[in-house]
Chains A and B, each alone.
Chain A
């Protein structure tokens, strides 16, 4: 094979990175970021709706970047990485949710 452009096809526990996935990731991230900033900056929605919207946009951008940039997936190689990610999310959920619950309760009882 006289192909001068050798391409490394070894995957490091994630899908192979491609220009296409990076471009999609960039485009989506920009879209989500600008939407969030414009909605808050111009106060396009009532407060509660804004909170929910930007949270949703942040989570969407999280998934965008994890899938498009980090290329996390459930293939044979990627399964363990994805599992660690899910576990971490559970730990974070307990930590943050639990802390907020406790402190809210404390605050209420100390009023």
Chain B
């Protein structure tokens, strides 16, 4: 284990890092509030299907379970990547980051397919408040995941180029917070939108 020297610069850097992470965490909390508003809108509108089908008729639980497994697995494999970073093993980190990316991409592909099928069948966000709320909430989450994937691809390049340097470590920490947070939001999406929708 590396001994942490307590010279002044190092102490300052240590506290600066914690403050920076706290700052990013505050951003994540605001994102949380954003999703809460979308959930509130969905909760109010989910039965307002006008002349269209009820949401219950449009959902497939096995399909959503599949999506959930991909995202949960990606959250786990991201953790494995971070363990590789802590051990200063560039190869381990890159390998697991790539696996995480593929799992996350699988989730997005599944979700896009679901949206495309709904739209093609005429069940778009145009036809009812319920579907509007659905597409907004689930779509916003999916957009977050997609942006996370872009960020992840960039970080894979950074680790390949700069190794497990402290700055790279820090950015991967932020991405980790973001990625885990998205899985946490998804817990509530599949529970409130899909599971409760089907009961």
Cβ of A13: which chain B residues have Cβ within 8 Å of it?
18, 21-22, 25
Q: What's the A-B contact tally at a CB cutoff of 8 Å?
A: 138
Dominant SS among interface residues on chain A: helix
Cβ-defined contact, A40 with B25, below 8 A: no
Cβ-defined contact, A51 with B196, below 8 A: yes
Answer whether A12 and B79 are a contact pair too, CB < 8 Å, given A7-B86, A40-B199, A99-B44: no
Cβ-defined contact, B17 with A9, below 8 A: no
**How far is it, in angstroms, between the C-alpha of A10 and the C-alpha of B85 when the chains are bound?**
12
Cβ-defined contact, B184 with A30, below 8 A: no
A12 contact from B21, B184, B196, Cβ within 8 A: B21
**How far is it, in angstroms, between the C-alpha of A51 and the C-alpha of B199 when the chains are bound?**
8
B177 contact from A29, A70, A92, Cβ within 8 A: A70
Whether B113 is near chain A, meaning CB under 8 Å from some CB there, is: no
Least CB distance from A33 to B in Å reads: 6
Answer whether A65 and B184 are a contact pair too, CB < 8 Å, given A9-B4, A95-B36, A100-B44: yes
Q: Which A residues form the contact surface with B (CB < 8 A)? A: 1, 3, 5-13, 16-19, 22, 25-26, 29-30, 33, 36-37, 40-41, 43, 47, 50-51, 54-55, 57-58, 61-62, 65-66, 69-70, 77, 80-81, 84-85, 87-88, 91-92, 95-96, 99-100, 103
Per CB-CB distance, the 4 closest pairs between chain A and chain B, nearest first, are A99-B40, A88-B29, A22-B79, A58-B191
